[in-house]
Amino acid sequence: MSDKKLDFDFRERLNKISGGSHHNYCYQCGSCVAICPAARFNEDFNPRDILLKTLLGKKEELIGENSIIWKCTNCYSCYERCPQDVRPIEVIIALKNICREDGVLPETVDKFSETISQTGRSVVVNPTVNRRRSSLGLPELQNVPVDDIKKMLE
């Protein structure tokens, strides 16, 4: 009965990622579901279920660019509620980090992040931006030290 076997390798891998190891504390109470806005607005989303799949090591159902984990709104309500300090959102983020390691990050996430790594800002500054700023009497925006970022991340 291979489908009943737990994938401990996957869980070991998750344990090593910052925020990932707290998945071990989940006792499936469902408190996170009651407060979760993503669950309220999308019946396929359920943080308790994501944790269960994680505990069972069901990697294929969690890791991928179209995985349900990307529907999490990052609201931190589950972190607030969980009686076990699972910090479910941080587990979801650790799962997302695994998506990156496995090369299955959604394009929007990758592109947006790349703008930050390459320019130091999440929104690109163009001449229109500075025109709008000066119309308000605000100084032009200077370049940010993106070389520092590149050095640290290399």
Partner 1 sequence: MAEKIRVTPFWGCMIPVKYPQMELSVRKTMEPIGVELVDLEGFTCCPDPIYFKARDKIEWLTIAARNLCIAEEAGLDIITMCSGCTSTLLEVRFLLAEDQELKDKVNEKLKKVGKEYKGKVKVKHIVVMMRDDLGIERVKASVKRPLTGINVGIHYGCHLLKPSQIMGIDDADYPSILENLIQAIGANPLTHTEKLLCCGKGCIDDEMPIDMTYEIFASMEEANVDCMGLICPTCFNSFDMGQIIIARKKEREFKMPVIYYCQMLGLAQGLKPEEVGLHMHRIKIDKIMEMISKPKKVNVAV
Binding region for ligand SF4 (CB under 6 A)? 26-32, 35-38, 47-48, 51, 72-78, 81-82, 84, 86, 88-89
Distances (CA, A) of 26 to 43, 59, 103: 21, 17, 28
Which residue in the set 29, 55, 56, 93 belongs to the binding site for partner 1 (CB under 8 A)?
A: 93
109 binds partner 1 (CB under 8 A): yes
Tokens 């990697």, residue?
59
Question: What is the per-residue DSSP string for 94-128?
Answer: HHHHHHHHTT---HHHHHHHHHHHHHSSSS---HH
At its nearest, how many Å lie between partner 1 and the CB of residue 52? 21
**Residue 123: CB partners within 8 Å, gap ≥ 6?**
115
Binder of residue 68, out of partner 1, ligand SF4, none (CB less than 5 to 8 A by kind): none
At its nearest, how many Å lie between ligand SF4 and the CB of residue 22? 9
The answer to whether 54 and 63 have CB atoms below 8 angstroms apart is no
Binding residues for partner 1 restricted to 32-91, rule: CB under 8 A: 37-38, 41-42, 70-77, 79-80, 87
Which residue in the set 13, 55, 84, 120 belongs to the binding site for partner 1 (CB under 8 A)?
A: 120
